[in-house]
Structure 1
Protein backbone atom coordinates (compact mmCIF):
# COMPACT_ATOMS: atom_id res chain seq x y z
CA UNK A 1 0.00 0.00 0.00
CA UNK A 2 1.38 3.40 -0.99
CA UNK A 3 0.02 6.59 0.52
CA UNK A 4 -2.98 4.88 2.16
CA UNK A 5 -4.45 3.62 -1.12
CA UNK A 6 -3.78 0.18 -2.58
CA UNK A 7 -2.69 0.94 -6.16
CA UNK A 8 -3.80 -2.42 -7.58
CA UNK A 9 -7.37 -1.68 -6.51
CA UNK A 10 -7.18 1.81 -8.02
CA UNK A 11 -5.62 0.55 -11.25
CA UNK A 12 -8.15 -2.29 -11.62
CA UNK A 13 -11.06 0.11 -11.00
CA UNK A 14 -9.77 2.58 -13.57
CA UNK A 15 -9.08 -0.09 -16.17
CA UNK A 16 -12.64 -1.43 -15.76
CA UNK A 17 -13.92 2.08 -16.44
CA UNK A 18 -11.67 2.47 -19.43
CA UNK A 19 -13.03 -0.77 -20.87
CA UNK A 20 -16.30 1.04 -21.56
CA UNK A 21 -14.74 4.38 -22.57
CA UNK A 22 -11.08 4.01 -23.51
CA UNK A 23 -10.64 7.75 -23.97
CA UNK A 24 -11.99 8.88 -20.60
CA UNK A 25 -9.64 11.72 -19.72
CA UNK A 26 -10.54 11.70 -16.01
CA UNK A 27 -9.81 7.97 -15.67
CA UNK A 28 -6.56 8.27 -17.63
CA UNK A 29 -5.41 11.16 -15.42
CA UNK A 30 -6.24 9.16 -12.29
CA UNK A 31 -4.34 6.14 -13.63
CA UNK A 32 -1.33 8.25 -14.62
CA UNK A 33 -1.12 9.60 -11.07
CA UNK A 34 -0.88 6.17 -9.41
CA UNK A 35 2.59 5.74 -7.88
CA UNK A 36 4.46 2.45 -8.13
CA UNK A 37 7.81 1.14 -6.92
CA UNK A 38 10.33 0.87 -9.75
CA UNK A 39 13.29 -1.42 -8.94
CA UNK A 40 16.71 0.04 -9.62
CA UNK A 41 18.98 -2.68 -11.01
CA UNK A 42 22.52 -3.21 -9.79
CA UNK A 43 23.35 -5.53 -12.70
CA UNK A 44 21.79 -7.55 -15.47
CA UNK A 45 19.76 -6.28 -18.39
CA UNK A 46 18.85 -2.58 -18.19
CA UNK A 47 17.00 0.03 -20.18
CA UNK A 48 17.46 3.68 -19.28
CA UNK A 49 14.73 6.30 -19.21
CA UNK A 50 16.28 9.63 -18.44
CA UNK A 51 17.72 9.33 -14.96
CA UNK A 52 15.81 6.08 -14.34
CA UNK A 53 17.27 2.73 -15.29
CA UNK A 54 14.77 -0.09 -15.44
CA UNK A 55 15.03 -3.73 -14.63
CA UNK A 56 13.84 -5.79 -17.62
CA UNK A 57 12.26 -9.22 -17.31
CA UNK A 58 10.43 -11.40 -19.83
CA UNK A 59 6.72 -12.18 -19.87
CA UNK A 60 5.16 -14.29 -22.63
CA UNK A 61 8.25 -13.94 -24.77
CA UNK A 62 8.30 -10.12 -24.60
CA UNK A 63 10.37 -7.75 -22.46
CA UNK A 64 8.57 -5.99 -19.61
CA UNK A 65 9.49 -3.48 -16.95
CA UNK A 66 8.30 -4.86 -13.60
CA UNK A 67 6.83 -2.36 -11.14
CA UNK A 68 5.31 -3.04 -7.74
CA UNK A 69 2.58 -1.68 -5.52
CA UNK A 70 4.30 -2.62 -2.25
CA UNK A 71 7.70 -3.41 -0.82
CA UNK A 72 6.34 -6.86 0.05
CA UNK A 73 5.54 -7.68 -3.60
CA UNK A 74 8.88 -6.27 -4.73
CA UNK A 75 10.83 -8.27 -2.14
CA UNK A 76 9.04 -11.50 -2.99
CA UNK A 77 9.56 -11.24 -6.75
CA UNK A 78 13.01 -9.60 -6.86
CA UNK A 79 14.69 -10.38 -3.52
CA UNK A 80 18.09 -9.19 -4.74
CA UNK A 81 16.84 -5.63 -5.38
CA UNK A 82 18.03 -3.27 -2.67
CA UNK A 83 16.93 0.05 -4.17
CA UNK A 84 13.79 1.37 -5.85
CA UNK A 85 12.15 4.65 -6.85
CA UNK A 86 8.56 5.73 -6.24
CA UNK A 87 7.35 6.93 -9.64
CA UNK A 88 3.93 7.84 -11.04
CA UNK A 89 2.76 5.72 -13.97
CA UNK A 90 2.30 8.83 -16.13
CA UNK A 91 5.98 9.76 -15.71
CA UNK A 92 6.97 6.26 -16.78
CA UNK A 93 4.71 6.45 -19.83
CA UNK A 94 6.04 9.83 -20.96
CA UNK A 95 9.54 8.37 -20.98
CA UNK A 96 8.67 4.91 -22.27
CA UNK A 97 11.29 3.34 -24.55
CA UNK A 98 10.70 2.65 -28.23
CA UNK A 99 9.86 -0.88 -29.18
CA UNK A 100 7.67 -3.51 -27.64
CA UNK A 101 8.48 -3.19 -23.93
CA UNK A 102 5.44 -3.85 -21.73
CA UNK A 103 4.71 -2.94 -18.12
CA UNK A 104 4.16 -5.72 -15.56
CA UNK A 105 2.42 -4.57 -12.39
CA UNK A 106 3.08 -6.82 -9.38
CA UNK A 107 4.43 -9.75 -11.41
CA UNK A 108 4.32 -13.01 -9.50
CA UNK A 109 1.36 -11.98 -7.34
CA UNK A 110 -2.25 -13.14 -7.73
CA UNK A 111 -3.30 -9.58 -8.62
CA UNK A 112 -0.62 -9.02 -11.27
CA UNK A 113 -1.36 -7.82 -14.77
CA UNK A 114 0.60 -6.63 -17.77
CA UNK A 115 0.06 -3.69 -20.10
CA UNK A 116 1.49 -3.89 -23.61
CA UNK A 117 3.77 -1.13 -24.87
CA UNK A 118 0.84 0.26 -26.86
CA UNK A 119 -1.41 0.28 -23.77
CA UNK A 120 1.28 2.03 -21.73
CA UNK A 121 1.63 4.75 -24.35
CA UNK A 122 -2.14 5.08 -24.92
CA UNK A 123 -3.66 4.72 -21.45
CA UNK A 124 -1.01 6.30 -19.25
CA UNK A 125 -0.03 9.32 -21.31
CA UNK A 126 -2.28 12.32 -20.67
Structure 2
Protein backbone atom coordinates (compact mmCIF):
# COMPACT_ATOMS: atom_id res chain seq x y z
CA UNK A 1 0.00 0.00 0.00
CA UNK A 2 2.80 2.43 0.85
CA UNK A 3 4.50 1.60 -2.44
CA UNK A 4 1.31 2.53 -4.35
CA UNK A 5 1.09 5.89 -2.57
CA UNK A 6 4.74 6.52 -3.35
CA UNK A 7 4.14 5.76 -7.03
CA UNK A 8 1.07 8.00 -7.07
CA UNK A 9 3.06 10.74 -5.34
CA UNK A 10 5.83 10.55 -7.92
CA UNK A 11 3.34 10.63 -10.78
CA UNK A 12 1.54 13.65 -9.34
CA UNK A 13 4.90 15.32 -8.72
CA UNK A 14 5.75 14.92 -12.40
CA UNK A 15 2.35 16.06 -13.66
CA UNK A 16 1.86 18.89 -11.16
CA UNK A 17 3.72 21.64 -13.09
CA UNK A 18 2.09 20.68 -16.38
CA UNK A 19 -1.38 20.66 -14.83
CA UNK A 20 -0.74 24.10 -13.33
CA UNK A 21 0.51 25.37 -16.68
CA UNK A 22 -2.56 23.97 -18.45
CA UNK A 23 -4.94 25.56 -15.96
CA UNK A 24 -3.35 29.00 -16.30
CA UNK A 25 -3.19 28.61 -20.09
CA UNK A 26 -6.94 27.94 -20.19
CA UNK A 27 -7.64 30.84 -17.83
CA UNK A 28 -5.43 33.41 -19.56
CA UNK A 29 -6.57 32.52 -23.09
CA UNK A 30 -10.25 32.36 -22.20
CA UNK A 31 -10.96 35.74 -23.76
CA UNK A 32 -9.88 34.48 -27.20
CA UNK A 33 -10.83 30.80 -27.15
CA UNK A 34 -13.57 28.65 -25.66
CA UNK A 35 -12.80 28.18 -22.02
CA UNK A 36 -11.75 30.69 -19.50
CA UNK A 37 -12.24 31.24 -15.83
CA UNK A 38 -14.54 28.40 -14.91
CA UNK A 39 -12.86 25.70 -17.00
CA UNK A 40 -9.36 26.74 -15.97
CA UNK A 41 -10.49 26.95 -12.36
CA UNK A 42 -11.82 23.41 -12.52
CA UNK A 43 -8.44 22.20 -13.80
CA UNK A 44 -6.72 24.20 -11.05
CA UNK A 45 -8.97 22.50 -8.48
CA UNK A 46 -7.91 19.08 -9.77
CA UNK A 47 -4.31 20.14 -9.19
CA UNK A 48 -5.04 21.10 -5.58
CA UNK A 49 -7.16 18.00 -4.97
CA UNK A 50 -4.55 15.64 -6.43
CA UNK A 51 -1.97 17.29 -4.20
CA UNK A 52 -4.23 16.66 -1.20
CA UNK A 53 -4.74 13.01 -2.19
CA UNK A 54 -0.99 12.57 -2.35
CA UNK A 55 -0.06 14.43 0.83
CA UNK A 56 -3.06 14.92 3.13
CA UNK A 57 -2.60 17.92 5.39
CA UNK A 58 -4.42 19.39 8.35
CA UNK A 59 -7.35 21.80 8.24
CA UNK A 60 -5.26 24.99 8.10
CA UNK A 61 -5.06 24.85 4.32
CA UNK A 62 -8.84 24.90 4.04
CA UNK A 63 -8.99 28.01 6.23
CA UNK A 64 -6.40 29.71 4.06
CA UNK A 65 -8.33 28.78 0.91
CA UNK A 66 -11.54 30.13 2.43
CA UNK A 67 -9.84 33.46 3.14
CA UNK A 68 -8.45 33.58 -0.40
CA UNK A 69 -11.89 32.78 -1.82
CA UNK A 70 -13.46 35.68 0.08
CA UNK A 71 -10.77 38.07 -1.13
CA UNK A 72 -11.19 36.88 -4.73
CA UNK A 73 -14.97 37.30 -4.52
CA UNK A 74 -14.52 40.87 -3.27
CA UNK A 75 -12.10 41.58 -6.12
CA UNK A 76 -14.54 40.16 -8.69
CA UNK A 77 -17.27 42.44 -7.38
CA UNK A 78 -15.14 45.55 -6.83
CA UNK A 79 -13.16 45.58 -10.08
CA UNK A 80 -16.13 46.42 -12.36
CA UNK A 81 -17.38 48.99 -9.85
CA UNK A 82 -13.97 50.68 -9.71
CA UNK A 83 -13.72 50.67 -13.50
CA UNK A 84 -17.19 52.16 -13.77
CA UNK A 85 -16.21 55.14 -11.62
CA UNK A 86 -12.62 55.58 -12.81
CA UNK A 87 -13.29 55.25 -16.56
CA UNK A 88 -16.67 56.79 -17.44
CA UNK A 89 -16.54 55.56 -21.06
CA UNK A 90 -15.91 51.99 -19.93
CA UNK A 91 -19.57 51.05 -20.06
CA UNK A 92 -19.70 51.77 -23.80
CA UNK A 93 -17.07 49.07 -24.48
CA UNK A 94 -16.74 46.78 -21.43
CA UNK A 95 -15.14 43.96 -23.42
CA UNK A 96 -11.62 45.32 -23.21
CA UNK A 97 -9.01 42.60 -23.64
CA UNK A 98 -7.11 43.43 -20.45
CA UNK A 99 -10.30 43.54 -18.42
CA UNK A 100 -11.40 40.14 -19.72
CA UNK A 101 -8.03 38.58 -18.93
CA UNK A 102 -8.05 39.94 -15.38
CA UNK A 103 -11.65 38.84 -14.80
CA UNK A 104 -10.92 35.36 -16.20
CA UNK A 105 -7.92 35.11 -13.87
CA UNK A 106 -9.96 36.17 -10.83
CA UNK A 107 -12.82 33.84 -11.70
CA UNK A 108 -10.45 30.94 -12.39
CA UNK A 109 -8.74 31.35 -9.03
CA UNK A 110 -12.13 31.71 -7.31
CA UNK A 111 -13.50 28.55 -8.93
CA UNK A 112 -10.31 26.63 -8.16
CA UNK A 113 -10.41 27.58 -4.50
CA UNK A 114 -14.16 27.02 -4.25
CA UNK A 115 -14.10 23.52 -5.72
CA UNK A 116 -11.09 22.62 -3.57
CA UNK A 117 -12.90 23.79 -0.44
CA UNK A 118 -15.90 21.64 -1.35
CA UNK A 119 -13.62 18.62 -1.74
CA UNK A 120 -11.80 19.34 1.55
CA UNK A 121 -15.12 19.57 3.38
CA UNK A 122 -16.25 16.23 1.98
CA UNK A 123 -12.89 14.71 2.91
CA UNK A 124 -13.16 16.08 6.45
CA UNK A 125 -16.71 14.74 6.87
CA UNK A 126 -15.85 11.22 5.74
CA UNK A 127 -12.69 11.12 7.81
Fold shared per TM-score above 0.5: no
Bigger Rg, which one: 2
TM tier, smaller: under 0.3
Counting strand residues as a fraction of each chain, which structure ranks higher? 1
Q: Which has the higher contact order (CA 8 A, sep 6+)?
A: 2
Q: Which has a greater percent of helix?
A: 2
